[in-house]
A and B are shown apart, each in its own frame.
Chain A
């Protein structure tokens, strides 16, 4: 199906407004601070922000975390203390405590946005004092501006100006979006086998490894929520390769093929390079398909991964998506995904959580994918659930994770079958 024919599918997209049961962009720090190993994320916010960070992950990550909150108090608000002086003091303490930090993000929050604390100026000032030892950047993870995974988008977009300029004749491939280390290594091996030349990843594992970008750079989005990052990369001359996202066999094949075609790799070489992992994925999926085929699934909006996930569940596992909720739908970046979805799917953009719960109760899906606030209440009503946050924290991309991804949907159902209580 071409992208044009799927335009009819767009018309069936329902927009909803109401209470949104989603995390804010600060939550992205939970995986970003593990991914970039010498980065520190300092939220400039309230006690609520700090409380969110320790509650959101479901568990507390108690290796000394590389994130903290500079909590704004009444003295800052009353103007008794100069917020910038206070911030300088907090950053100085922090850097003294953590001399291993090379990259510091000042992360804006709802309160810092509302009181119009200019973190970009603060970052520039602190960067002047601390670089080259420590670079200081800023972005906003506030709930008034970002939903859950958009925090990663804002963070990566803040890194883009730090990327060196690559020569125009350098046609490196850039993979954009956080992937687990093992998935990154797998993709690197496949790209080597295909022969696309130099491959770089954003975000990097270390601040010193921030890749460069230029007019020759082509990039593949590894995640569907990177609208702003793609925009600023394009502004630097890089070209986005349109592709589905690397979830499941179909998505991973299409994603890798977009790179192969852009680098004029012969079809036979490409097919040969992916044959073995693809076969492994087929074997792994077969086991789960028997259990999942014919089951209905309901996606509450959460990470913007919902459309690629629904496509995987439908096309590769034979499941029936009843409703696909997504916080935002980026028409251009998701075009290839929408083309792969059968027509007539109910896609909801935005949220009115009470109405959506009513629809979920009425539909009685075999499984509902939802956030942590909704999961146990739905289970108590008899609806089997999968926490959507696990789909963000688990390596699910690529051929060798396709079986694991299916397993994430299969396990709650298998558990329900097992339990005699």
Chain B
């Protein structure tokens, strides 16, 4: 048993729903109690879907448990088939139905439906949403592409002269972070290279499309969390080349183009020579100097978190001070990436642990999920969202990909926007005591102060440090408590811009504690500053 306040991932059957809802002509019959239908609103409300997800729930109640819940399930399958006429049916259990062990797969198979039935075994007490999505996609791909696989050991025939190379785009699903726009962006990039997209799956694909997966020359895995397992299987069965570079950021997009060109036997030098994204110039332009070394904390699914950390470092000139993921399945990848940046990897699905880490690190920018947005808001730290899970505002009406060259433009804008602009930051540093132009004021292009609390504390003349919420175990607190600040030192601390003040306070107190100083003076503050700036 473990305590959870908020969760990054839902149960695995929600992952299965994300596959079913993304596809066409598939229906999912879920053996589940009344109440589990809440999952529909993830799609209809958060993603503003115009259709209910293609899911029928048995919604059994306590009184059904004494009777025959298996009959209830069979009736639901029969009704769903008669009403929706899908080309394929997924069947499975939610967490509660797993406990009553009705075996939906066996029951459905015994019914002799005229369509393929794909049973899903998604252990709800061990696994989570992304695993459920990956498993469901893999089962579907196996079921429909499997029969078209060549005999083992068959050498993949050479592409005929004059036939354009083709690929499958794998991974985009319902409720994914910007999947819709990424597919558009990457499809157009591939078209300019001369690579055709054979099938996009699961988004928009039908079972018949899955049966055509083998026809492509290569598989492009856009979202390994969802399509990694299926792509590995396709590679083994069909001898496909698998493109695993994730085209997020200019550097990775170029690497992606090179990798695809090589696999397709194409010359992409013209495309690579063109400066397709504005990001490189925007980053080199002098106004961006103030971005240099901004301390950034990155958390999300492994793919987006690793990509964001690389873009932050190499393309915006930030410093990554923390990197983590809630995807335990990708622990190895995150550990390797964290080593690249010289930080400790944070692998957890406990949002309280992430909050404690952010509070401890006091970054100047947080790149994360909707959870980190709330954490950052609470700690008055600027934030941009880079990964699922996300809320309704992260499904924008405008075209807003994360991948490809346009995606890089979007990243630049989205990550720089929450920050104070360069000259404004300098002026704040110079004129700390201006009654209007004080640091409680937000960046002038954002309409509101960082938090009510910060503003209130500043007005009351109290120390304006942003503390970890009292609800948290105070891991950082020393036993004896920090040395007291002299009034003068406290005032001087107030002159440090608010977004680094928490860090300055912590560093100074640590410095004083290490030297067993009785109190913290202005001198201590500057000594600590010199000490830590080495």
Contact = CB atoms under 8 A, between A and B. Distances in A.
Given A113-B62, A144-B34, A46 B95 contact: yes
Interface stretch (A90-98, A203-211, A282-290, A401-409): A90-98
Contacts of B39: 51, 55
B2 A73 contact: yes
A376 interface: yes
A48 B44 contact: no
B35 interface: yes
B76 A376 contact: no
Interface in B312-331: none
10 contacts: A23-B37, A54-B7, A59-B391, A60-B391, A72-B1, A90-B2, A142-B62, A145-B61, A372-B44, A375-B44
Interface of A: 18-27, 44, 46-48, 50-52, 54-56, 58-60, 62, 64-65, 67-74, 76-77, 81, 83, 86-87, 89-90, 93-94, 96-98, 110-111, 113-115, 142-145, 147, 354, 371-377, 380
Given A19-B76, A51-B14, A111-B99, A90 B52 contact: no
B374 interface: yes
A281 to B, nearest CB: 32
Contacts of B181: none
B4 interface: yes
Interface in B79-129: 79, 83, 94-96, 99-100, 123-126, 128
Interface of B: 1-7, 9-11, 13-14, 33-42, 44-46, 48-52, 56-62, 64-65, 76, 79, 83, 94-96, 99-100, 123-126, 128, 370, 374, 377-378, 391, 469, 471-473
B52 A373 contact: yes
B378 to A, nearest CB: 8
A48 B94 contact: yes
A96 B125 CA distance: 27
B353 to A, nearest CB: 13
Contacts of A110: 33, 35, 95-96
A47 B391 contact: no
B374 A144 contact: no
Given A51-B10, A59-B391, 15 more contacts: A22-B34, A23-B38, A24-B35, A50-B4, A51-B11, A52-B36, A56-B38, A68-B3, A71-B1, A72-B1, A93-B3, A142-B33, A144-B65, A372-B45, A374-B40
Given A93-B3, A144-B33, A147-B34, A64 B62 contact: no
B35 A22 contact: yes
Contact of A144 (B42, B49, B62, B79): B62
Contact of B374 (A19, A25, A50, A62): A62
Nearest to A91: B3
A235 to B, nearest CB: 22
B345 to A, nearest CB: 23
A335 to B, nearest CB: 25
Nearest to A88: B1
A152 to B, nearest CB: 15
10 closest residue pairs by CB, A with B: A24-B35, A143-B35, A373-B40, A380-B50, A86-B1, A110-B96, A51-B10, A372-B41, A46-B95, A143-B33
A296 to B, nearest CB: 23
A48 B1 contact: no
Nearest to B45: A372
B52 A24 contact: no
Contact of A60 (B4, B6, B36): B6
